[in-house]
Amino acid sequence: MIAVIGEKPSVARDIARILGASEKQDGYLSGNGYLVTWAFGHLVGLAMPEAYGIQSFRRESLPIIPDSFQLTPRQVKAEKGYKADPGALKQLKVIKEVFDQSDKIIVATDAGREGELIFRYIYQYIGCGKPFVRLWISSLTDKAIREGLQNLKAGNLYDNLFRSAQARSEADYLIGINGTQALSVAAGQGIFSLGRVQSPTLAMICNRYLENKNFVPQKYWQLKLQAAKDDVSFTALSADKYDMQQSAIDTLQRIKEAETVQVKTIECKEVNQEPPFLYDLTTLQKEANTKLNFSADKTLSIAQKLYEGKLISYPRTGSRYISQDVFEEIPERLADLEKYSRFAGYAAGMKGKALNSRSVNDSKVTDHHALIVTENLPGKMEADEQAIYELIAGRMLEAFSEKCVKDVTSVTLDCVGSLFTVKGSVIKSAGWRGVFAEKEDGEDNATLPAMQDGDSLPLSDIELLEKQTKPKPLHTESSLLSSMETAGKELENAELKARMKDAGIGTPATRAAIIETLFSRQYIIREKKNLVPTEKGLAVYNIIRNKKIADVEMTGMWENTLAKIESGEMNPDTFRKGIEVYARQITAELLDVPLSFASGSGCICPKCKTGRILFYPKVAKCSNVDCSVTIFRNKSDKQLTDKQITELVTTGKTGLIKGFKSKNGKVFDASLAFDEQFNVTFVFPEKKGKPKK
């Protein structure tokens, strides 16, 4: 009997169908000598500190560095702390039973770092020792699955991939647990989440926000003239930018007296614009954010759905290249797009033409090749799915198209000693730009009249433009993803950018989740397309800005190290020791922070008599970690004020508070008081007796 494990039920069902395992069981499918089961993402993870006998959020417990990590089933929040997810426990039991009945295992979790980790953690947790092989595929089409099953890979080929994933998982734990708990302890018992990638990302957003906010614009002036030849008008800007308005006005007056402007130099050249590379996940997310205003998380979610619908290749890729063998299939894919209405005409025009091979490079294909569409044409799709599919399909057409050829003309004009410049461009052959027919930025003077050196042209108009310097814009998700890719370095050169990719922070697969974490922690919000820090986010940033935990470059170096573990160039133990040293450093730094995020009421805790009550946005609680006194601000749909909480703490009871709302929507009035265990309870006013007749 052979076991197969997929990452989620839908993928497992596809594989089961192809293997002929059609009998439904509880948590798996069976038939034809196969038992096909599945995970639900990360069923097993690293155990929380309590599992090692360590009490959390205590100064004396920090730093938390286990000698060896324990694995535990996925945890969910309970009334007190966390408990094992019942659904995870049930499925783990099923997986163990399936593995126990089998002679070997086919690993069919997603072919990447996280997919490998999901399987290996399950395998270790249930104590399995059965041999396993790997299904490694880049799309979920029936053809790809069949070919993959015929070419199963030895499981040990992916040991380094697992080591890299495990090193990432343990590093995130050590830095996240210690950073979060150290800052929270120092700040007075609020929970302030920090993380290996999360904190440098927050730092980049806050840094850009403060830079933008504190920017002082400087005024400057330019002159704009209008001239014409052969009934073709055009405008040109002064080469000089004037810091003093009067200088600009003086020049303007001098030019006004002139009637003509002379052509000083003309440069005409043919410019060949190579097509863009295919998408990896990050460039797809950036484009979708810019063009469609989709968040990185939304784009990933849609791409994953298209992948599971067998319409595109594996989305969590960091490569913008395909291998030669995949390139051989591209003509068929382009021919398929002749049946897709939006691209039918363009795709038909590519038939028989030599395809551009710029995106073909075997050596630059990582675990998975760049994003391409599969042989399966979509049926009816949701509008958002269609938009992402068309970005990927359109980019594929662009990448394999001819160059765009333009004639670019640069002209320098002279008017009484002042120079003006203008550029014009004419597309000779649209090539890849014909797919979406989008106009380039800055094409105001698309066509210039024919001119020669020394030509004297009539001056039609001259005007003064008042301008001002602009700050760097606030981060959008698109610009943030670019910064994460290059560890915050502002790089324009495409080749340099590509080289820096290995030193970025996060991976294409994780960056969206990091950004979403900052939203869920209430560190950032969206204002239109911009990412703006909240007061809470800025408060955290002000503490960590000069600390190691916010060091973007260091985090980028770690990502590079993880890639080296994956390739077998580095021992994971070396990385682990470095992370442990770092965890001790950040813990010491953060425990020294002399700041509280909570406002203190000055009220002594009525229960322990030693702590004082600290106010937070959603709760008031005792500063003594051993004391359980907690007052939630939201009580039966009523927000308690600081004054009401102070009254409760100091006297044991509030006055009558109006406007509580019961579960069935009934409004009522009541006082609040502590019971014997210092839980908050309602005290209802005595009902007045009915007057006697």
Q: What phi and psi values does residue 86 have, to the nearest 5 degrees?
A: -55, -40
Parallel, antiparallel, or unpaired: how do β-strands 630-632 and 619-622 relate? antiparallel
- What residue has token string 């783990």? 92
Provide the H-helix boundaries in 382-490. 383-399, 477-485
DSSP element (H, E) containing 634: strand 634-635
DSSP element (H, E) containing 621: strand 619-622
- Six token digits for residue 457: 């042209």
Question: For residues 79 and 73, is the Cβ–Cβ distance under 8 A?
Answer: no
Q: Per DSSP, what are the bridge partners of residue 34?
A: 2, 31
**Distance separating alpha carbons of residues 135 and 155, to the nearest angstrom:** 9
The count of other CB atoms within 10 Å of the CB of residue 4 is 24
Per DSSP, the three-state class of 95 is helix
Cα–Cα distance list, 412 to 180, 298, 341, 452 (Å)? 59, 47, 46, 11
- Six token digits for residue 141: 């089409």
The count of other CB atoms within 10 Å of the CB of residue 368 is 24
Candidates 152, 145, 56, 39; CA nearest to 91 is: 39
Per DSSP, the three-state class of 619 is strand
**Distance separating alpha carbons of residues 178 and 590, to the nearest angstrom:** 9
Question: For residues 422 and 266, is the Cβ–Cβ distance under 8 A?
Answer: no
HEC letters along 322-355: ECHHHHCCHHHHHHHHHHCHHHHHHHHHCCCCCC
DSSP element (H, E) containing 476: none
**Distance separating alpha carbons of residues 541 and 307, to the nearest angstrom:** 37
Strands, sheet with 667-674, edge to edge from the N-terminal-most edge strand: 657-661, 667-674, 680-683
Say if residue 9 is preceded by a cis peptide, omega within 30 of 0.
Answer: no
**Distance separating alpha carbons of residues 92 and 310, to the nearest angstrom:** 28
**Distance separating alpha carbons of residues 505 and 327, to the nearest angstrom:** 30
**Distance separating alpha carbons of residues 310 and 374, to the nearest angstrom:** 7
Parallel, antiparallel, or unpaired: how do β-strands 530-533 and 34-38 relate? unpaired
User: How many Cα atoms occupy the beta-carbon half-sphere of 527 within 13 Å?
Assistant: 9
**Distance separating alpha carbons of residues 40 and 122, to the nearest angstrom:** 11
Candidates 433, 430, 274, 283; CA nearest to 356 is: 274
Query: Quick one: CA dihedral 345, 327, 511, 162, positive or negative?
Result: positive
Q: Per DSSP, what are the bridge partners of residue 270?
A: 407
- Give catalytic residues, as residue numbers: 314
Strands (E), 28-81: 28-31, 34-38, 44-46, 71-73, 75-77
Q: Per DSSP, what are the bridge partners of residue 71?
A: 46
Provide the H-helix boundaries in 370-476. 383-399
The radius of gyration of the chain from alpha carbons, rounded to an integer in Å, stands at: 32
**Distance separating alpha carbons of residues 508 and 280, to the nearest angstrom:** 8
User: CB within 8 A of 331, min separation 6: which ones?
Assistant: 355
Residues in the chain: 693
